[in-house]
Amino acid sequence: MSDTVSDAEIIDAERRLDGVVVRTPLVPFPGIEPLLLIKPESLQPTGAFKLRGAYAAITADLDRATRHGVVAHSSGNHGHAVAYAAAKLGVRAVVVVPDNAPRTKTDAIARYGAELVMVAPTLAARVAATDELVAKHGYLLVPPFDDRRVIAGQGTIGLEIVADCPDVDLLLVPISGGGLISGIAAAIKSRRPQATVIGVEPELAADARDSLHRGQRLAWPAAEVQRTVADALRVEQIGVLPFAHIRKYVTDIVTVSEEEMLAAIRRLALEARLIAEPGGAAAVAACLFRAGELPPAATRVAVLSGGNVDPALLTRVLDHGP
């Protein structure tokens, strides 16, 4: 089997997602040149792109999920998506989250009936807890990013982008564990190979950038990545499968500051009428504030990956700026 997901895998995921996820539009960012189109995955029922991968993974092995239930670890949005998908499919779900996960996300997970398990705020702690639960109960594991089924589900975003904007030149995608950019890049490059795909990370959690530039997977200390306000992007190390996709399809990874992500949240709300969380706004922030670090392009698309922002943070940013 190839190190990267195939077109057939992405198309199969698209078939299973039909009628479940929102086919999000491309929304022009007013007054920006060259053209900047926003792909607002914040409009999904769970407020983030993660529903695509979660539902695709569960339905790929629905018999086991139905018999034993599912388990996932997550910083928030993936867990929300797994809980929602499991409730829709009528299967039991357990979600392992860091004990500092935002209440807006953990409340949503609990609202769909999933069992919450709190652990220390490190990727290692979340992985260890889910492995123990799988061994004990036989749950179907639904990883947040390092999984072919999940990557194929996220790749359906790429299918939609090319269908709606066949001449896309530059695509910017936030990076956490790497599942989102992996699926999108695979879909885009198979249909428009001349398009450039750029990843975007916070300056305070730039392990994927360092990994790409060094040619090997590098990990940042958990305490360092916890500094960023972008809770959705606090993964310490890119996944194995995502790294293979990034090396094959992604031209570069740029970083944005905390202030730039917050400023992008404000401008998205006030100018484009779109709600974003800090990590969800990272790709837009790169277009707005790091244009000089990006290759020239006539048509740019930035993925707004999630809108599950803490209400208090959103209020502060709208009232007072970053």
Catalytic residue among 50, 75, 105, 176: 50
What residue has token string 């970083």?
255
Contact indicator for 29, 172 with CB cutoff of 8 Å: no
What residue has token string 């208090």?
312
Q: Partners of 303 in the beta sheet?
A: 39
**Strand residue runs (E) in 31-162:** 35-40, 70-73, 93-98, 115-119, 140-141
Element (H, E) at 244: helix 240-249
Q: Cβ-count burial of 19 within 10 angstroms (0-12 exposed, 13-18 middle, 19+ buried)?
A: exposed
Q: Is 50 a catalytic residue?
A: yes
Q: Is 74 a catalytic residue?
A: no
What residue has token string 């499991």?
86
Catalytic residue among 42, 75, 211, 305: 305
Tell me if residue 21 falls in helix, strand or coil.
coil
- Look up residue 161 and give its DSSP letter: H
How many Å is the Cα radius of gyration of the chain? 18
CA 274, CA 165: separation in Å to the nearest integer? 20
Q: Which of 83, 180, 75 is nearest to 118 (CA)?
A: 75
CA 78, CA 46: separation in Å to the nearest integer? 9
* Cβ-based neighbours of 92, under 8 Å, separated by 6 or more: 68, 69, 70, 86, 115
Q: Give me the amino acid identity at 45.
A: P
Residues acting as catalytic residues: 50, 305
